[in-house]
Structure 1
């Protein structure tokens, strides 16, 4: 025991107390630590003593069953979450002390009551204030699966509470989502291979559509695997945040490439009015890649810089706190509004071109078909995300949302591959090259007769 320092422990059926006092002749060189069975307190008791004529005492009181009385449901939050007490309730007291101002914050290390496998929610350091648990003045400084360190600027009665979002998932809908997304991924893969290998028309480049399919394929695949292994990913907060950031980037890329495809279509329609149109398909592919992936990257980087804690919800997606979800919905709504304006302008320009009849009829017909396909693609790829904002209030809307979003790849394959004459001819050509040649019936009969003759002659 150091000079001027006394330590006393008292244990009862319901509480465990540790009392530490310092006198005027104390010579401490570090913060004082008090320890119970599940809690460690780190406090600058010497600094407190210097503000109280050279002496001070601190009491760490650990309650064995107080968490059943001051239960976690008394922690009021804006989000509708399930609260679970993750530690014992403890009190830190400075008895017979006039100046209770802390020279530095205290650190309380709580041992978790729950096992590591149960730690799947957000941990909060709280203290008791009259009739409820609140967080003011306390924050989590370190945490892992076994313990959490809370840093507080005042003394009170403290505890550790875990928040878990209320599960509203339907096993039937989850199974349906997995099956439908898997089907969509198959068709997306076929579409990506088709756009990458085939060159259907020299007047049109498939760069925007190819990159759109690649981003959709990666986004749907990553989201599906994340949800399937959410119970393994969620305890690792850093991994969960990284995955939500990557998903944010990929889905934004999908909308930017969709918007770029509309811009390229608008450019093609304008060229129909030219006497000698230039068949170049928009800007260089390098600039397209810079826009298609650069714009989403900037949005994600700014979002992460402004609110890094906005990533990593219970589903490893964007959190809805403080409107952070609008870092995704905002750009999406802006892109959809811009596409609507573009399509209206394209339709007006195309009608005017048809009336003037100055352009090649086949080229006009081709552009009209392409306009229909891209507008239908816009509706299927874009509108379901607006519908997704209302799925929490209706199972029917959620069911429709799952069908539309999961079958985006199937739709792209049907419209841009299966309903395209040039692609069908290419598929037929591939089938003829890789399928076994059909045998001629007459040749087969002749061969069998010859074999029978040879066999008979040998006997």
Structure 2
């Protein structure tokens, strides 16, 4: 054991204190550190991770010393797999896959898996179960506000066989075929089977719905499991649709009655017959037939030929209604422009020989062209409903502005208010026509009074005749007769 003399120990202590003082003097206030360096403990600068001032040194003693990048790949620090190679970057490194390395895919074209990691040979498989849906049906999906949950696809399981468990950085896109007809009111939910101690259930965690058409549904999931598509109807949405259906049927029934009375008025009330009443009559007839066909045939989607015929007739009748409303507006414009009084005795410049070809000919031409070029568009329940909603924007004068807002995206409450207003105004169009053109018209009211007086007089005359006939019969039956038939 070597023993230092007291003087040597004292000198060593002085040297250590001097070194510390020198270090503190250099960076006591922690001056601005160079690039790729940080201030440490408010006393000195130190290189960031991935940088050094020299082998095994990161502390900066002198201000002119700079931090240089560490080439981890050259030093052999990282451990990359056989199918990858080390690639140095400033301050770090990455393991890149070999360009020619392949990931085998048994179901190419059905599922595409992007994988940033380098695995050994990997197999991707999808298995479709034909009858498993009978047992793992929609009853295993629990969510508040949802009813009538149905399984609308085969159950499909996806798996990747690899020695290393894969982590999907990009979602898996699954396109599953629909097994049931699409309900336009229903919500399509992409789910996967999640096991639990109770047995398991369908879950939406990690999966989302992308698109649905009449044949297929596309789902996006960030993991591989057993997948399926559920078709569910919301309780709240179902109640709203039921309320709108009641309003529609009650309102259209009332409109049918008013349109019938209005058409009879315009047809039989001779003193008011002119160009205006002709336009009102044709519009009332078109709307009456369209509403009647809608009430009786909108839900008849089978057979296909009948459904297509109903769709084509609705198309024609609503287009004809639009054209007659356009002619009414044009007639009113010409009347005002020529400073004429709009009453029931002026015919203006409107020519009847142009009215009928425009009112009925143009819609017939449009429907014919549509049937020839796109006959497959006539037929489904959804297409008929969508067509009616769009055409009503133009047909019903009071509601076209409201109907326009239904095209845009709004909040749930706003859309609900718009839907109710749109439905109520639409179905009451016949009532509006009868009230405006009949009940609020003085000449029509006078004709109604004449009709009622005539009906009342006819009833009184008939009642008098019946009373006289009854009295006369009683008098004849009570007259005494002789034995030989003489008094």
Normalised TM-score (structure 2): 0.45
Q: Which has the higher contact order (CA 8 A, sep 6+)?
A: 1
- Give the TM-score of the pair, scaled to structure 1: 0.47
Higher helix share: 1
